[in-house]
């Protein structure tokens, strides 16, 4: 007899995108609240999930991605590190993917929120001993700005401490960048609003299919915000800019027929969008038994 499991199995999903194999790694979830959302009532949000045959829970999935190709092993974000009891499954997923921390040569950081950089350190020390850390310079400046940190409320200060802990641990290996190419076939795409230097990464699809846009935190509750793009979340540093950026990215994804990955998408972790009404519809790219 075995004990009945009380959590999900390590959750991975892979796709080929151009020269890379891209793996979705689940860090688990955080137990949120519909009260975080703005532009929709909690009752409406719950009803949307019920109508979509989803559990009417305000769970926010947390994920990161690995790119392997061109002789590189690249991590895009690293989950929460268990901060505040959120997520914490990233190390299990990384091991299940067959990647050891010392294998990682590059880390692309989407932004400084703890659910993306918490897993970069353990007790303040780097988890990835050989990796260079690529981050949007605007984002780095934001979290390291003492004036901004002094101006925020006590509830926001732990987020500054967490971001600084991660960046400081890799200080001698930090590579601040602006937009543009960061690796062969990979460009950093500024997507400001959620945070000032919030960034996505676009990977050339080449002969394998469409380009993949890792859009990071363009959605937090995809089952709600894709149909209702105007809905923002309390974590957005600039609500109006976050909304405008989301609208622009949705339009771009639908127009260019891009594939999408995101750090708050559930499995399968890859999808695209179709226009529907005044919003969009999410079209998941299902898990395939062959690596395609």
Nearer to Zn ion, 30 or 285 (CB): 30
Comparison of 36 and 210: residue with beta carbon closer to Zn ion: 36
Supply the minimum distance, in Å, between the C-beta of residue 143 and Zn ion: 14
Residues in touch with Zn ion (CB under 5 A): 113, 115, 217
Q: Minimum distance from CB of 193 to Zn ion (Å)?
A: 13
In the bound complex, what is the minimum distance in angstroms from residue 58's beta carbon to Zn ion?
A: 14
Contact 118, 83 (CB under 8 A): yes
Query: For residues 7 and 54, is the Cβ–Cβ distance under 8 A?
Result: no
- Considering the complex, what minimum distance in angstroms separates the CB of residue 61 from Zn ion? 10
CB nearer Zn ion, residue 20 or residue 29:
29
CB 80, min distance to Zn ion, A? 9
Whichever of 208 and 239 has its CB closer to Zn ion, that residue is: 239
Nearer to Zn ion by Cβ, of 14 and 111: the residue is 111
């Amino acid at each position: 007899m075995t004990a009945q499991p009380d959590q999900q199995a390590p959750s991975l999903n892979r796709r080929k995108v151009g020269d890379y194999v891209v793996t979705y790694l689940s860090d688990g979830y955080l137990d949120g609240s519909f009260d975080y959302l703005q532009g929709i009532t909690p009752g409406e949000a719950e009803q949307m999930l019920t109508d979509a045959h989803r559990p009417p829970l305000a769970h926010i999935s947390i994920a990161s991605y690995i790119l392997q190709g061109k002789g590189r092993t690249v991590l895009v974000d690293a989950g929460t590190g268990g901060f505040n009891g959120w997520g914490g499954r990233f190390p299990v997923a990384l091991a299940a993917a067959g990647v050891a921390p010392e294998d990682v040569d590059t880390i692309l950081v989407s932004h400084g929120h703890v659910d993306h950089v918490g897993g970069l350190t353990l007790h303040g020390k780097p988890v990835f001993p050989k990796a260079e850390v690529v981050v949007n310079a605007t984002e780095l400046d934001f979290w390291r700005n003492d004036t901004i940190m002094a101006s925020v409320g006590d509830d926001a200060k732990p987020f500054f401490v967490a971001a600084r802990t991660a960046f400081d641990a890799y200080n001698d290996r930090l590579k601040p960048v602006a937009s543009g190419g960061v690796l062969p076939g990979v460009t950093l795409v500024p997507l400001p609003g959620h945070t000032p230097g919030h960034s996505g990464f676009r990977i050339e699809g080449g002969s394998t299919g469409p380009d993949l846009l890792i859009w990071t935190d363009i959605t937090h509750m995809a089952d709600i915000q894709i149909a209702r793009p105007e809905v923002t979340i309390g974590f957005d540093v600039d609500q109006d800019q976050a909304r405008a950026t989301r609208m622009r990215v949705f339009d771009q994804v639908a127009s260019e027929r891009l594939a999408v990955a995101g750090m708050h998408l559930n499995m399968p972790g890859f999808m695209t969008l179709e226009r529907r009404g005044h919003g969009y519809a999410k079209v998941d790219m299902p898990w395939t038994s062959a690596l395609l």
